[in-house]
Amino acid sequence: MKINLGHCMMIIIPIKKNHSRDYNRTKIKKYVISSWNTPQFHILILFSMIISLTSLMTVNHVYAEINPFHSYLKNHVIRVLMPQVSPEGNTTFVVWQDNSTGNEEIFLRKSLNGGITFGNITNLSNNNASSISPQIESFGNTTFVVWQDNSTGNEEIFLRKSNDGHNKFYDPKNMTELSVQYKGGPIMNDPNLKVEIVATGINFPTSMAFLGPNDILVLEKNEGKVKRIVNGSILADPLLDVNVANESDRGMLGVATSNQEIKDKDKPVYVFLYYTETKSRDGEDLKGGDPLGNRLYRFELVKDKLINPKLLLDLPSTPGSVHNGGKILVGPDNNIYLTIGDVNRNYKKGSNSTITKSLNHDDGLDADGRAGILRVTQNGEAVHGGILGNGHPLDKYFAYGIRNSFGIDFDPVTGKLWDTEVGPSFGDEINLVEPGFNSGWNKIQGIWQVNEESAGNVTSDTTGLFNYNNTGNYRSPEFTWYDPSTGPTAIVFLDSDKLGKKYANDLFISGFHDGNIYNFKLDSNRTGLLLESPIADKVANVKNETRGISFGKGFGGVTDMKVGPDGFLYVLSLYAGGDDCAHVQPPGSPCVYYSKPLNGTIFRILSR
**Whether 202 and 182 share a structural domain:** no
d(CA 6, CA 118): 10
- Tens digit of pLDDT for each residue in 393-433? 999 999 999 999 999 999 999 999 999 999 998 999 999 99
CA 120 to chain centre: 34
**Whether 251 and 151 share a structural domain:** no
**Is residue 2 very low, low, confident or very high in pLDDT (cuts 50, 70, 90)?**
very low
- 9: pLDDT strictly greater than 80: no
Pick the last residue of a domain from 123, 155, 188. 188
According to the model, what pLDDT value does residue 585 have?
54
**Whether 87 and 220 share a structural domain:** no
* Residue 137 CB partners (closer than 8 Å, separation 6+): 86, 143, 144, 553, 554
Question: With contact defined as beta carbons under 8 Å apart, do 159 and 173 qualify?
Answer: yes
According to the model, what pLDDT value does residue 576 have?
59
**Whether 181 and 238 share a structural domain:** no
Give the residue-averaged pLDDT of 314-330: 95
Pick the last residue of a domain from 159, 188, 217. 188
Higher per-residue pLDDT: 476 or 345: 476
Percent helix / strand / coil, the chain, rounded to 5: 5, 45, 50
Q: How many domains does the chain have?
A: 2
According to the model, what pLDDT value does residue 166 have?
67
- 468: pLDDT strictly greater than 50: yes
**Is residue 173 very low, low, confident or very high in pLDDT (cuts 50, 70, 90)?**
low
**Whether 240 and 304 share a structural domain:** yes
According to the model, what pLDDT value does residue 187 have?
87
**Whether 359 and 401 share a structural domain:** yes
**Is residue 14 very low, low, confident or very high in pLDDT (cuts 50, 70, 90)?**
very low
According to the model, what pLDDT value does residue 589 have?
54
**Whether 104 and 231 share a structural domain:** no
**Whether 84 and 24 share a structural domain:** yes
**Whether 206 and 155 share a structural domain:** no
Higher per-residue pLDDT: 30 or 577: 577
Element (H, E) at 68: none
Give the residue-averaged pLDDT of 281-288: 89
**Whether 268 and 331 share a structural domain:** yes
User: Comparing 111-125, 434-448, 561-575, which segment has the lowest mean pLDDT?
Assistant: 111-125
Mean pLDDT for all residues in the chain: 82
d(CA 236, CA 97): 41
Question: With contact defined as beta carbons under 8 Å apart, do 569 and 578 qualify?
Answer: no
pTM of the model: 0.75
User: Comparing 290-299, 554-563, 590-599, which segment has the lowest mean pLDDT?
Assistant: 590-599
**Is residue 5 very low, low, confident or very high in pLDDT (cuts 50, 70, 90)?**
very low
According to the model, what pLDDT value does residue 102 have?
81
- What percent of the chain shows pLDDT beyond 90? 57
Pick the last residue of a domain from 169, 188, 207. 188
According to the model, what pLDDT value does residue 556 have?
85
**Whether 541 and 401 share a structural domain:** yes
**CB contact burial 31-64 (16+ within 10 A = b; e otherwise):** bbbbeeeeebbebbbbbbbebebeeeeebeeeee
**Whether 24 and 131 share a structural domain:** yes
Instruction: Look up the domain containing 328 and give its range.
Output: 193-607
- Tens digit of pLDDT for each residue in 113-129? 888 899 899 999 888 77
- 349: pLDDT strictly greater than 80: no
**CB contact burial 199-231 (16+ within 10 A = b; e otherwise):** bbebbbbbbbbbbeeeebbbbbbbbbbbbbbee
User: Comparing 168-182, 386-400, 416-430, 587-601, which segment has the lowest mean pLDDT?
Assistant: 168-182
User: Comparing 54-63, 235-244, 381-390, which segment has the lowest mean pLDDT?
Assistant: 54-63
- 43: pLDDT strictly greater than 50: no
- 33: pLDDT strictly greater than 90: no
- Tens digit of pLDDT for each residue in 469-497? 999 999 999 999 997 789 999 999 999 99
Check which CATH number belongs to the domain holding 494 and give it: 2.120.10.30
**Could you tell me where the beta strands, DSSP code E, fall in 523-585?**
529-530, 539-540, 550-553, 557-563, 569-574, 579-580
Question: With contact defined as beta carbons under 8 Å apart, do 326 and 335 qualify?
Answer: no
